Chain A
Amino acid sequence: MIIEISKLIKTYAGRTVVNIEKLVINEGETVGVVGNNGAGKTTLFRMLLDLIRPDSGEILSKGTNVAENDEWKKYTASFLDEGFLIDYLTPEEYFLFIGSLHQMSTPDVIGHLERYKEFFNGEILDSGKYIRDFSKGNQNKIGIASALMQNPELLVLDEPFANLDPTTQIRLKAYIKSLKSAQLTTLISSHDLNHVTDVCDRIILFEKGIMIKDLYTTENTLNELEAYFSK
């Protein structure tokens, strides 16, 4: 197992946002996290990335507490929102910077970006714009590509399909599927039930911070989720 969460609680202004008794995620799993607004998906991701301090409980990544040790940063790549980007850099500058953190040379980075050519749809590179001047969808692409580029063992994406045009959504889905391997664990949150059931082999459903369902994807999963959300 790569992630082990136990007795994790976070409250804001007296309201419990995340309350997880026990959650274990194994290596190689692609996990989809679903739930309505306020379910605590993003808060959970932020705690996983040590961006928010839990009120109690702990998150172990490869056996060490993420809040106590930086070791997890070496194999974890993530993109939650535009705040993760350095918005006054051009995309190229940003990719090179991220690459340099993982000891990638400039040719390495350029070679890597070659793979995302289709994904970028010719809008990202050589655009002569700063990241802040891109549309939200394109900023999303930059963030996702920079996360993928890091060759992580743990990939965390918060609503990666939001703001993307349909073509890119389909390409991203295919790409994430193609990445599946025993070495890569992926955590994805999404409001799009079709997409998550398509991409993920395990779905966890949250409501008001509590895990309601934890299923391994079958043909029935989509129906089951739709039934849950439409009641």
Chain B
Amino acid sequence: MLLTFLSHQWTGFWRSKSKTGTIATQLIMGFLILYLVIVSIMVGYNMQGIIEQVLPGKDIMIVFNGVILYYYAMEFLIRMQIQELPTLAIVPYLHLNIRKQTLVNFLNLSALFSPFNILPVFIFFPFIIMNVRPDYGLFACLMYLATILSLTVFSNYATLYFKRLSTGNMKIIMAGAAFLLVIAGLEYFKIFSISVISNMVFQTISKYPPVAFIFILLATAMFMINSRYLKNNLYTEELKSGTGKKSSTDYPFLDRFGEVGTLVALEIKLILRNKRPRATVSKGLIFLFYGFLFYKQNVLENNEFGKILFAALFMTGNMILLYGQFMFGWQGAEFDGLLANKTDIRTFFRAKLLMLTLSSTLLTLITSLYGFISWKLLLLHSAAYLYNIGIGAVIVLYFATRNYKYIDLKKGSSFNWQGVGASSMLMAVPILLLPYLIYFPVSLLSNPYWGLAAIGIIGTMGLLTRNYWLTTLVNAFNKRKYKIAAGFREQS
């Protein structure tokens, strides 16, 4: 039976409706996975050399042991974003003569087919086999390997379990995000360290290998918990988003903007109530952690803003880039209706600008928390903010008038290439390059602060001349509006 399911998945994949358009993306995906696998094998095979080069003089085992849990922590975060729940696949089987347990087994099995589950094997196994075995003996080596496998299995099913629990449950998502933020903060300020814990755990295993059975037990327990939950909740309406009462909402704050505000409210609802835009926007929130990666003390002390400008631009403007790149495809399904309505195009564009501005303002407010690390970051973020709303938003909307690709709102966003085209790829180049073109000459001629000021000033100028840019956008749109609308009508 399970084989039949798998063969159905396989045929389903090859006969997928959007296949003609996706053959290229499948190839790219394939190469991407192949590339990842090759890189992992190289890293795994040369782990010893890499550690010696990156951190010379340190004990290789300690570094290696410290990395493992770190890897899984990061992996878990990425999994939560990317890994899809293979639930909908079972809908056509629910009413047939197939036992529930079989369906659950199928869901569990198909969840294992993920590149996440194979990468750790390539990354960690070679080193363990080459280094742990000679030093600690065969049994310890086997238990090491078993621990790696257990952690992978645990992470796999924990992701699915928590994702299922949190679908449509904002509270759990918020609590999870807050928890992660605290952990990241503690790690950044060196109050708490995953690598120390990891090192402790694996040193214990190398000395007392049977300890690893705890991990095998944990993985088994997670698997059981997930299966149990699935078996008890195998109702599609419960595994999908909540069935709570849908109420009409309005955003009084937006009322002051009149018709523009109404259009913004409409788009906010579009984002909150549909899977793909919601996923795109919430993915943007992950990038708020960029600061912890890029904002290093020595960079800040030397005022090397060029090195962190990208992070600032992206954190304060990721909605503009991530959501804006598929503009107006989000509204592709009702685009004809929008055009035929009693709104003029100028208002339409003003609403878009307002929404992008609001998003960027919100992100800038959140990221101003980085000000605790250094006040310089506030300057950096302000400059990036002004640039994003003054220039970035306009560039995004200009490229949007060249995008004819419909977006299916119900699909997930991970590895979803629908709507990705040359214009959305190209768009990021000028938006992210321009600030550097402004910053570097000015900061070389005077100093880095003037460089930031220049970015801010250019952004402000963009804001002050917004009416002119609006006219440009409206003209660009009117030239192509029939083509855009026709493109959306084709739907995929």
Q: Which residues of A contact B (CB under 8 A)?
A: 12-14, 49-53, 70, 73-74, 76, 78, 80, 83-89, 93, 97-98, 100-102, 130, 132, 150
Q: Does B100 contact A (CB under 8 A)?
A: yes
Which residues of the other chain, A, contact B92 by a CB distance below 8 angstroms? Answer: 83-87
Could you say which of A80, A85, A101, A130 contacts B98, with CB atoms under 8 Å apart?
A: A101
From residue A159, how far is it (CB to closest CB) to chain B in Å? Answer: 16
Chain A residue at minimum C-beta to C-beta distance from B238: A53
Q: Which of B76-99 contact A (CB under 8 A)?
A: 91-92, 94-99
CA gap between A44 and B238 in the complex, in Å? 17
Are B91 and A12 in contact, CB atoms less than 8 angstroms apart?
A: no
Chain B contact residues: over half helix, strand or loop, or mixed? Answer: loop
Q: Does B245 contact A (CB under 8 A)?
A: yes
Are B236 and A51 in contact, CB atoms less than 8 angstroms apart?
A: yes
Contact-residue size bin, chain B (C-beta under 8 Å from the other chain) = 20 to 34
Q: A13-B245, A49-B95, A88-B15 are in contact. List 5 more A-B contacts (CB 8 A).
A: A50-B94, A74-B97, A97-B4, A98-B96, A101-B97
Chain B residue at minimum C-beta to C-beta distance from A102: B97
Q: Does B237 contact A (CB under 8 A)?
A: yes
Which residues of the other chain, A, contact B298 by a CB distance below 8 angstroms? Answer: none
Which residues of the other chain, B, contact A13 by a CB distance below 8 angstroms? Answer: 243-246
Are A73 and B99 in contact, CB atoms less than 8 angstroms apart?
A: yes
Which residues of the other chain, B, contact A85 by a CB distance below 8 angstroms? Answer: 92
Q: Does B417 contact A (CB under 8 A)?
A: no
CA gap between A3 and B11 in the complex, in Å? 37
Chain B residue at minimum C-beta to C-beta distance from A86: B92
Are B95 and A51 in contact, CB atoms less than 8 angstroms apart?
A: yes
Q: Give the 4 A-B CB pairs with smallest separation, nearest first.
A: A13-B245, A88-B15, A86-B92, A73-B97
Are A86 and B8 in contact, CB atoms less than 8 angstroms apart?
A: yes
Are B235 and A52 in contact, CB atoms less than 8 angstroms apart?
A: yes
Are A70 and B235 in contact, CB atoms less than 8 angstroms apart?
A: no
Q: Which residues of B contact A (CB under 8 A)?
A: 4, 8, 11-12, 15-17, 91-92, 94-101, 235-238, 243-246
Chain A contact residues: over half helix, strand or loop, or mixed? Answer: loop
Chain B residue at minimum C-beta to C-beta distance from A71: B99
From residue A148, how far is it (CB to closest CB) to chain B in Å? Answer: 14
CA gap between A185 and B340 in the complex, in Å? 52
Chain B residue at minimum C-beta to C-beta distance from A130: B15
Which residues of the other chain, B, contact A100 by a CB distance below 8 angstroms? Answer: 4
Are A84 and B95 in contact, CB atoms less than 8 angstroms apart?
A: yes
The verdict on A150 contacting B8 (CB below 8 Å), with A83-B91, A83-B92, A130-B15 known, is no
From residue B89, how far is it (CB to closest CB) to chain A in Å? Answer: 10
Which residues of the other chain, B, contact A76 by a CB distance below 8 angstroms? Answer: 95, 97
Chain B residue at minimum C-beta to C-beta distance from A51: B94
Which residues of the other chain, A, contact B8 by a CB distance below 8 angstroms? Answer: 86, 89, 97
Could you say which of B4, B95, B245 contacts A14, with CB atoms under 8 Å apart?
A: B245
Could you say which of B4, B98, B238, B244 contacts A73, with CB atoms under 8 Å apart?
A: B98
Which residues of the other chain, A, contact B98 by a CB distance below 8 angstroms? Answer: 73, 101
CA gap between A163 and B4 in the complex, in Å? 31
Are A101 and B91 in contact, CB atoms less than 8 angstroms apart?
A: no
From residue B97, how far is it (CB to closest CB) to chain A in Å? Answer: 5
Which residues of the other chain, A, contact B236 by a CB distance below 8 angstroms? Answer: 51
From residue A96, how far is it (CB to closest CB) to chain B in Å? Answer: 10
CA gap between A93 and B10 in the complex, in Å? 14
Which residues of the other chain, A, contact B96 by a CB distance below 8 angstroms? Answer: 73, 98, 101
